[in-house]
Amino acid sequence: MAVKIYNNAFEATFDVPSNCTILLGGFGLCGIPENLIKALVERGVTGITCVSNNAGVDNFGIGLMFAKRQVKKMVSSYVGENETFEKLLLSGELEVELCPQGTLAERLRAGGAGIPGFYTPTGVGTLVAKGKEIKNFDGRDYVLERGITGDFSFVKAWKADKMGNLVYRKTSRNFNPMVATAGKIVIAEVEEIVETGTLSADQIHTPAVYVDRLVQSKFEKRIEQRTLRKV
């Protein structure tokens, strides 16, 4: 378990090539690896197959890659906050695979566990099941879904120790832990790096054995949708 700590996100993504598959952690704008995404924009990597819970918003996160036409295919469960994404989809410039949110989480978990596929009732009788195997168990139909793996996983954590053990905060635990298990190379950006042994074993959500690279970054605390009460 020899995690390598990098000075910045640009250095940590030195070997990310075009035409690869990248799994991105985060839920909405919470817990997204925003600096690693910016590094890909700076590097000009193209032809990316991107797997993420959401398609982000314009001018931030994944939205930056859409603006530069860097994403070839998007696998996601929610895409409703990004106008650039909508334009690319409708123009045929972007291939999109929509996946129910729970199914997406389980496909990532399965991929990380070495499980090639599983059956779920979610999506049976809808476009989600088109072209997929349907099997009946105990009188109920289930659709076969494939596990997801990637060339790289980008995750964002709250804390890490110098060995690479990760701790997430609150909503960022929704997808980051599964993403961290399903990539061949896992790059984690964190708010704080502490000495090994500082974190309690009960606090650790992603063990260091999964993490290959680590970088400490500063993050922008954005709110996806702001609702204000009338005073």
- The three-point CA angle 202-204-207 to 5° equals 125
Task: Please indicate, yes or no, if residue 172 is contained in any of the structural domains.
Answer: yes
Average pLDDT over residues 20-34: 94
Q: How far apart are CA 120 and CA 137, in angstroms?
A: 10
Domain count of the chain? Answer: 1
Strands 95-98 and 71-76: parallel
Confidence check: pLDDT of 59 > 90: no
Q: How far apart are CA 5 and CA 204, in angstroms?
A: 18
Task: Please indicate, yes or no, if residue 140 is contained in any of the structural domains.
Answer: no
Average pLDDT over residues 81-95: 92
Type of residue found at 215: V
Q: Which of 27, 7, 16, 2 is nearest to 155 (CA)?
A: 27
Strands 4-6 and 213-216: parallel
> Among the listed ranges 86-95, 190-199, 215-224, which one has the minimum average pLDDT value?
215-224
Q: Which of 198, 178, 186 is nearest to 12 (CA)?
A: 186
Range of the domain at 43: 4-115+148-216
User: What is the CATH number for 80?
Assistant: 3.40.1080.10
Task: Please indicate, yes or no, if residue 50 is contained in any of the structural domains.
Answer: yes
Task: Please indicate, yes or no, if residue 121 is contained in any of the structural domains.
Answer: no
